Amino acid sequence: MPRLRDVTRYVRSKNAGPFWVTVDIFFDDEETWRRHRHDPAIGVDAVAALYGVRPSQVRRFEIDSLRAIKLSFPRSLPQGGVVERDMHSGQQYVPLLDAELAAG
């Protein structure tokens, strides 16, 4: 089964204001986009579980012209607190790279 890193040309994360993280997934090409865009491994429930938020807090967008999925969700703690590990949320995409996608 392919992992997300195998079918995307670029995955990134960034803070969207002090209280939100946003992850952008850019697929390789039209074929990988069509095949994997609806994969549950990068769906709302899986992302909520991976990042410890409620599914209702995850906002998911498909940007067809860019072959991209955007997933936005609240940070577990506001940016810059006592135990801040990633001030700009710039490395928060990494756990998603290993998401296992259906072979289909």
Partner 1 sequence: MTLPTLDETRILVPAGVLGAGVRADEIDAGLALQPHAIALDAGSTDSGPAYLASGKSKYSPQSIHRDLALLMDARARAAIPLLIGSCGTSGCDMALDATLDIALEIAAAQGRPLRIAVLYSEQDKAVLKAKVAAGATAPLAPAEALDDAAIDACLHIVALLGPEPYIAALEAGADIVLGGRTTDTAVLAAVPLMRGAPAGPTWHAAKVAECGGVCSVNPSSPGIMMSVDAGGFTIAPLAAANQCTPYTVSSHMLYENSDPFRLVEPGGVLDVTESRYLAVDDRTVRVIGSRWEPRAYTMKLEGAGGGPFQTLMLVGVQDPQVLADIDGFLERMGAALGHRVRRTLGQDVPAFDISLRPYGWNAVSGRPVAAGAAPPREIGLLFVATAPTQDLATQIARICNPVFFHFPAGAGKEMPSYAFPFSPAEIERGQVFEFHLNHVVETTSPFELARTRWVNFSHPSRETALA
- Phi-psi domain of 17 (left: phi exceeds 0; alpha: psi -120 through 50; beta: other): left
**Beta-carbon contacts of residue 47 (< 8 Å; ≥ 6 apart):** 23, 58, 60, 71, 73, 96
Looking at the Cβ atoms of 1 and 104, the one nearer to partner 1 is 1
Per CB under 8 A, does 82 bind partner 1?
yes
Site string for partner 1, 27-56 (x = CB under 8 A): ------------------------------
Per CB under 8 A, does 72 bind partner 1?
yes
Q: Which tokens is 40 given? A: 């549950």
CB 99 within 8 A of CB 46: yes
Residues of the shown chain interacting with partner 1 in the complex, contacts defined by CB under 8 A: 14-20, 22, 24, 26, 57, 59, 61, 63, 65-66, 68, 70, 72, 74, 78-88, 91, 94-95
